[in-house]
Amino acid sequence: MTDINKKYHPDLLLKSDPYKGDGKKLIAIGASTGGVDAIAKILQTLPRNLPPIVITQHIPGNFSTSFAQRLNRISELDVYEVREKVILKDSCVYLAAGGLHMVLKRIRNDYYAEPQEGIRISRHCPSVDVMFRSVNNVAGKNVLAIIMTGMGDDGSIGIKELYNNGAYTIAQDEASCVVFGMPKQAIAKGAICEIVGLDSIGNKIVSFAGGNLKRIINEND
């Protein structure tokens, strides 16, 4: 039996095995407190013809379905809640179901997402750390990872692994966060390429899709 008050590391659920090659682009977003409205605001601004977007928002199981439906109504993108294994497609958004981790896998050049039961990792299920680690395992440097408003530090482990593997990483700025905990912890770990306001995140996603947002690796990284 696990202790609900203890913080469990993603190693207990998923081994780190960073992908080092080239591949299709992928966008990953993690959020908690304040994230429901912030994610909705971003998706409302996005056009179609973007790489797949995967999102882990800390949300109870009985609310994630209605949240996915809301996002689908207000966005030009097709939004799905991940309750079974699904291939990731362009112009689509995949939301982790409440109470289930979302894990990505790779089959040849295709990405898949599937739900996975398990203990709370970094005190959450779904966990942003689990999603970010699995994204790093299948896509590595081909990822744009965004950590947004939220309490605590879930996501800081996984986004640091993505940063170390050459991914482009963004943190929402303090001024536009409801709670600056998650971005602040990721910044403190040295895991962030750029800190931007909520109103600019959509443009960063479009720039990444168009090849205009690229990580420059230097000797100090």
Provide the residue-wise pLDDT of the chain in tens; the chain has 221 residues.
456 568 899 999 999 999 999 999 999 999 999 999 999 999 999 999 999 999 999 998 889 999 999 999 999 999 999 999 999 999 999 999 999 999 999 998 999 999 999 999 999 999 999 999 999 999 999 999 999 999 999 999 999 999 999 999 999 999 999 999 999 999 999 999 999 999 999 999 999 999 888 777 654 55
Domain at 23-210, CATH from 3.40.710.10, 3.40.50.180, 1.20.210.10, 3.90.1150.10: 3.40.50.180
Q: What is the pLDDT of residue 61?
A: 82
Query: How far, in whole angstroms, is CA 84 from its chain's centroid?
Result: 18
Query: For every residue of the chain, which 3-state class applies, written as one string?
Result: CCCCCCCCCHHHCCCCCCCCCCCCCEEEEEECCCHHHHHHHHHHHCCCCCCCEEEEECCCHHHHHHHHHHHHHHCCCEEEEECCCEECCCCEEEEECCCCEEEEEEECCEEEEEEECCCCECCECCCHHHHHHHHHHHCHHHEEEEECCCCCCCCHHHHHHHHHCCCEEEEECHHHCCCCHHHHHHHHCCCCCEEECHHHHHHHHHHHHCCCCCCCCCCCC
* Identity of residue 219: E
Spatial separation of the C-alpha atoms in residues 122 and 130, rounded to whole Å = 9
Q: What is the pLDDT of residue 6?
A: 80
Q: What is the pLDDT of residue 5?
A: 64
Q: What is the pLDDT of residue 127?
A: 97
Give the sign of the dihedral formed by CA 113, CA 117, CA 118, CA 119: positive
The strand pairing partners of 199, in sequence order, are none
Q: What is the pLDDT of residue 62?
A: 85
pTM: 0.95
CA distances to 107, 109, 145, 147, 165 from 84, rounded to whole Å, are: 16, 20, 23, 25, 28
Catalytic residues: 32, 58, 154
- Condensed to tens digits (0 to 9), the pLDDT of residues 119-142 reads 999 999 999 999 999 999 999 999
Tokens of 75: 């966005």
- Condensed to tens digits (0 to 9), the pLDDT of residues 181-203 reads 999 999 999 999 999 999 999 99
* Identity of residue 27: I
